Amino acid sequence: MLTIAQRRIVIAAVLLFTVSAFVLSIPFAAAQETTPTIEPSKTPTAAATEQPVVATPTVTQDLGILDPFTQGDLTVLTGNVQRPNGIHWFNEVLYVSCSGDSTIYEVNAEDGRTISYSAGTRNAHMLYVEPGSDERPVIWSADFGINAVVRATRTNTTTIAGDLNGPWGFLYLDEESFLVTQILGGDLLRVTRQGEVTTLLTGLANPTGMAMEGDFIYVANNGSTRRAIEWYPRTIVNDEGVDAAEANGGAILSGVQNVTGLAQYDDMLYFAYALGTRGVVGRVNPLECMAKGGCSNSDVEVMLFTELAAPLAGLAIAPNGRLFVHTMFAPDIYWVQLTD
């Protein structure tokens, strides 16, 4: 195990290399027109209608605030899921959507034992798991592969609402409905368990992950650094077709690139994003950011600096403070303990 001083030297050297590569790429990136893609981009992109706030980290950014975990601190949980995507912790188990074989796997969160749970979910970025009537979990998700909200049990997978437009984020709202972001549609939907679909917000910038705490809903914009993470009052679920620019919300965070997953833990909002080509997990206190009109990249506490290629598609935190993460299209799921 490296000492704190050695670890900071390693991180500083990697950051210098990453920043240099990113700065050299800016003229090329600026010349490109942003086009929605079926997966979050692995390179920095800007929304077509705005100028990006370019993140320019330095070797001292955040490292004096917090000594982050690095790749050497990560433990591999399992390599038995071919192409993991969405992950959700439930009752000591990780439920993992595999986009390689359209299967949801049940992975023991302690020893990595892996079994096939259900078939038919093609490509889910976020899952919600709840107990079923037979004490076997029921798994809800937005399936990007078939543009639908689906319900999966041990024996079958059912389409609840179809004809969507690139659904990515999926969040339990209440006993009757879920929230869904559409990365291609640029909007936020409410979808009931009976399949009724209502568009709540429009004008988002390639939205991906979501989280909800108390009276607030948090949305990640993968296609905008200026609006990297936004907040909206929970009352937005009672509206219909409101443009995000006119909604009673605002930016929590600006200046970070390609945000994907969000997770709430101990009053802090954790998020996966890209620093150059590397996948990183950071955190902010969302209420403090809202109180001061938004945080910037200099306010981010870097929690995990990996050597994994961005985007970090999966992000989940268990109640015991264990953070699980994986990169897109690679089999390994990693974990690190955030708390003692």
For residues 157 and 121, the answer to whether their CB atoms sit within 8 Å is yes
Q: Is the dihedral angle over the CA atoms 79, 320, 270, 188 positive or is it negative? A: positive
Which residue type occupies 55?
A
Structure-block tokens of residue 262: 């969000």
* pTM score: 0.82
Residue 298: which residues within 8 A CB-CB, separation 6 or more? 61, 62, 255
Q: What is 4-337's CATH superfamily? A: TolB, C-terminal domain (2.120.10.30)
pLDDT tens over the chain, length 340 residues: 444 444 544 444 444 444 344 333 333 233 333 333 345 443 333 333 343 333 333 333 433 346 899 999 999 998 789 999 999 999 999 999 999 999 999 999 999 999 999 999 999 999 999 999 888 999 999 999 999 999 999 999 999 999 999 999 999 999 999 999 999 999 999 999 999 999 999 999 999 999 999 999 999 999 999 999 999 999 999 999 999 999 999 999 999 999 999 999 999 999 999 999 999 999 999 999 999 999 999 999 999 999 999 999 889 999 999 999 999 888 999 999 998 6
The rounded distance, in Å, linking the Cα atoms of 5 and 259 is 29
| Other residues' Cβ atoms within 10 Å of the Cβ of residue 248 | 11
Domain boundaries, the chain: 4-337
Structure-block tokens of residue 210: 């979501």
Residue that the structure tokens 């996948």 belong to: 279
The angle subtended at Cα 88 by Cα 113 and Cα 159, nearest 5°, is 110
For residues 103 and 114, the answer to whether their CB atoms sit within 8 Å is no
Local structure of residue 23 (DSSP, 8 states): H
